With several copies, the nearest count.
Chain A
Amino acid sequence: MFNFRTSLGQAEFENPIFTASGCAGSGKELAQFFDLTELGAVVTKSIMLKARSGRATPRMAETPSGMLNSIGLQGPGIDLFLEKDIPWLREQGARIVVSIAGESVEDYAILARKLRAVQGISALEVNISCPNVENRGQVFACQPATARAAIEAVRRNIGGDLPIIAKLTPDVTSIVEIAEEVVAAGADALALINTVLGMVIDINTMRPKLAGKTGGLSGPAIRPIAVRAIYQVHEALPNVKILGMGGVASGRDALELILAGASAVSVGTATFGNPTAVIKIKEELQNELIAHGFDSLREAVGYAHRKEVNL
């Protein structure tokens, strides 16, 4: 029997295919296409302290083999989320990873406190790729100090053994440096990668196409960047589990991230093109792993790092 189980920090999952934060809402809309228990976990859209309208439209632009988005974290705020979305997901029997985002270190602390007693959550994904209003809108994950501060705030307030997965941006000179910093600050696992900062200019209006000017690039276009980031971080921190993401649209793509070092894989943009992408990817991945002679997913994690023998 093939063993598809995986873990991130102390959390165990039946299989390694998750949704990506912001690409599956809170699961409701996908539930009409498949059973959410089929997923390793539902990663919910990053939730903030207060309700947020998000950015003005246009919020998206298609790009070659990818897309740009600037949603601006639209959402109901943590209280309504805990009141409505979490109970619903629990009812479905889904494994839940809650993604949180803050505008200040204090936000992260409060969010963690609000979540510490909540039943039925498997892990916390801490999205630190968002602007820090206290530091000229600089993204937390862009500087070691702010990245550390945000994760420390969560660590101090979450208590118990809810694993913290720190989600990093690739838009830095050294992602390994940031990874080391957040692990030192208490992250149990890492989520790699968030979107890449990009821009599209509309040839007709001759202005940036998105109302927010810049946006996050996702989809197959960025997969080589994701694989590189995962490989580099796994090389430097082989014992820290990675939730990989970035352009995964097939089982082979997922396997690429796993061989690079990911213990689980989130699927984002591919769901927009195909609502059942996660299910297809999960099946294809299992077939690929078996075809390659693996007895378990775990054996394949980071396999691309093995020493070359008799070249």
Chain B
Amino acid sequence: MMGINKNASQVIAEIVSNKKVGAYHHMVFAVGELAKFAKPGNFVAIAVGGESSSMVLRRAFAIYRAFDRGTNGGLLEIVVAPHGAGSTWLTNQSVGFKVDLIAPLGTAFGIPTEPIRALLVGGGYGSAPLFGLSEVLKNRGCRVDMVLGASTAMKIYAPLDGKRSVSSLTITTEDGTTGITGKVTDVLPGIIETNQIDIIYSCGPMGMLEAINQIAAELGVVHQCAVEEAMACGIGVCMTCVLPIRGEDGEIRMLRSCIDGPVVDGSSVIWSSKRQIPEGTWGAN
């Protein structure tokens, strides 16, 4: 799962579609050949702000879907939440505008060889990479259940065609504007037991991932999650995006989430270590 994504390349990609969906923008880019290398869990890094931008860093977005349609036809889709200056700029660009894009980056969700029972859990725009994943899992004969949560209905991203491949979809919102009132973690234990889940795949805010991981650990379910750390480069050269991960040798190391992630084994992450290096980390003194 680890190491440089050898398929990454840099392209100038035209915006083919840009539609507002709830609180998000669903954006499609013409990326040519590289679409065929994109795997669920990978991300793209896009330069923002235009020629004389004061923003010097790219923004990372999980790949929602990718369509390989030959050299000129490859499409890559993302779901963007207009948040700060960079994402707002991106969502304001019109069809026809060209952006500088690097993809696919990072690790992908591990796909089981057996037809097991998977639960996909997404928070906010974190649902985006899960639909492509569910497609792949379903094609492998897995049963796929899905839980999506957000603070409010507008922040649930669950397009109709994305839902085709899941056996059940549970939605939670904190304000109760749609689905069950509460958090995804309120419904997880029940679904895990009822559906005899073998593996959880998750994507969303770090706090949510941590809470899911705790439930997974308690119930003995494998947990793969896509983390989101602030990234300066996205390609492994800056060391800003690190998080403490326990390796197979038992050693904790500060690993780069852009290269050794974003998809990591939830049980290997030393959670709750924001603003401090966990004790015993390799090289800490």
- Check A273 against B237 for contact (C-beta < 8 Å): no
- Check A32 against B6 for contact (C-beta < 8 Å): yes
A186 within 8 A of B: no
Q: Could you give, for residues 259-277 of chain B, a 1 whenever the CB lies within 8 Å of some chain A CB and a 0 otherwise?
A: 1000000000000011111
- Check B242 against A59 for contact (C-beta < 8 Å): yes
Give the segment of B53-61, B161-169, B172-180 that binds chain A: B53-61
B4 within 8 A of A: yes
Query: In the assembled complex, how far is the CB of residue A51 from the closest CB belonging to chain B, in whole angstroms?
Result: 4
The interface centre, meaning the residue of A45, A71, A276 with most chain B CB atoms within 10 A of its CB, is A71
The interface centre, meaning the residue of B100, B243, B275 with most chain A CB atoms within 10 A of its CB, is B275
- Check A220 against B230 for contact (C-beta < 8 Å): no
How extensive is the interface on chain A, given as a class? 35 or more
B94 within 8 A of A: no
B222 within 8 A of A: no
A66 within 8 A of B: yes
B233 within 8 A of A: yes
Name the contact of B283 in the complex, choosing from A60, A69, A74, A219 (C-beta under 8 A): A74
Residues in chain A near residue B273, CB distance under 8 A: 56
- Evaluate whether A274 and B242 lie within 8 angstroms (CB atoms) in the complex, with A56-B277, A60-B232, A65-B54 already known: no
- Check A50 against B285 for contact (C-beta < 8 Å): yes
Interface residues of B in 205-241 (CB under 8 A from A): 229-230, 232-240
- Check B240 against A59 for contact (C-beta < 8 Å): yes
B281 within 8 A of A: yes
Query: In the assembled complex, how far is the CB of residue A289 from the closest CB belonging to chain B, in whole angstroms?
Result: 20
Residues in chain A near residue B58, CB distance under 8 A: 272-273
B47 within 8 A of A: yes
B284 within 8 A of A: yes
- Check A60 against B238 for contact (C-beta < 8 Å): yes
- Check B277 against A55 for contact (C-beta < 8 Å): yes
How extensive is the interface on chain B, given as a class? 35 or more
B282 within 8 A of A: yes
A269 CA / B54 CA spacing, docked (Å) = 13
A275 within 8 A of B: yes
Residues in chain B near residue A33, CB distance under 8 A: 9-10, 235
A24 CA / B229 CA spacing, docked (Å) = 19
**Which residue of B has the minimal Cβ distance to A64?**
B54
- Check A58 against B230 for contact (C-beta < 8 Å): yes
Interface residues of A in 41-87 (CB under 8 A from B): 45, 50-62, 64-67, 69, 71, 74-77
A238 CA / B177 CA spacing, docked (Å) = 47
Query: In the assembled complex, how far is the CB of residue A130 from the closest CB belonging to chain B, in whole angstroms?
Result: 15
A109 CA / B117 CA spacing, docked (Å) = 58
A23 within 8 A of B: yes
Residues in chain A near residue B188, CB distance under 8 A: none
**Which residue of B has the minimal Cβ distance to A211?**
B275
- Check A62 against B56 for contact (C-beta < 8 Å): yes
Interface residues of B in 195-210 (CB under 8 A from A): none
A33 CA / B102 CA spacing, docked (Å) = 11
- Check B233 against A271 for contact (C-beta < 8 Å): yes
- Check A29 against B54 for contact (C-beta < 8 Å): no
A45 CA / B230 CA spacing, docked (Å) = 20
- Check B100 against A274 for contact (C-beta < 8 Å): yes
Residues in chain B near residue A25, CB distance under 8 A: 236-237, 239
- Check B283 against A54 for contact (C-beta < 8 Å): yes
B35 within 8 A of A: no
A311 within 8 A of B: yes
- Evaluate whether A32 and B57 lie within 8 angstroms (CB atoms) in the complex, with A53-B254, A274-B47 already known: no
Query: In the assembled complex, how far is the CB of residue A252 from the closest CB belonging to chain B, in whole angstroms?
Result: 11
Residues in chain A near residue B55, CB distance under 8 A: 62
- Evaluate whether A29 and B237 lie within 8 angstroms (CB atoms) in the complex, with A57-B229, A58-B230, A67-B56 already known: yes
- Check A276 against B10 for contact (C-beta < 8 Å): yes
- Check A54 against B285 for contact (C-beta < 8 Å): no
- Evaluate whether A52 and B283 lie within 8 angstroms (CB atoms) in the complex, with A62-B55, A274-B47 already known: yes
Q: Could you give, for residues 249-284 of chain A, a 1 whenever the CB lies within 8 Å of some chain B CB and a 0 otherwise?
A: 100000000000000000001111111100000000
**Which residue of A has the minimal Cβ distance to B47?**
A273
Query: In the assembled complex, how far is the CB of residue B186 from the closest CB belonging to chain A, in whole angstroms?
Result: 25
A311 CA / B58 CA spacing, docked (Å) = 30
A205 CA / B10 CA spacing, docked (Å) = 35
Q: What are 20 pairs between A and B in contact, CB < 8 Å?
A: A23-B238, A25-B237, A30-B235, A30-B237, A45-B239, A53-B282, A54-B242, A54-B277, A56-B274, A58-B230, A60-B232, A62-B57, A62-B232, A74-B283, A75-B283, A211-B274, A270-B56, A273-B56, A275-B102, A275-B233
Given contacts A74-B254, A75-B283, A272-B56, 19 further A-B contacts (CB under 8 A): A30-B235, A50-B283, A53-B253, A53-B284, A56-B277, A57-B230, A57-B274, A57-B275, A58-B230, A58-B240, A58-B274, A58-B275, A59-B230, A62-B56, A64-B54, A211-B276, A271-B237, A274-B10, A311-B276
Residues on B facing A (Cβ under 8 Å): 4, 6, 8-10, 47, 54-58, 100, 102, 229-230, 232-240, 242-243, 253-254, 259, 273-277, 281-285
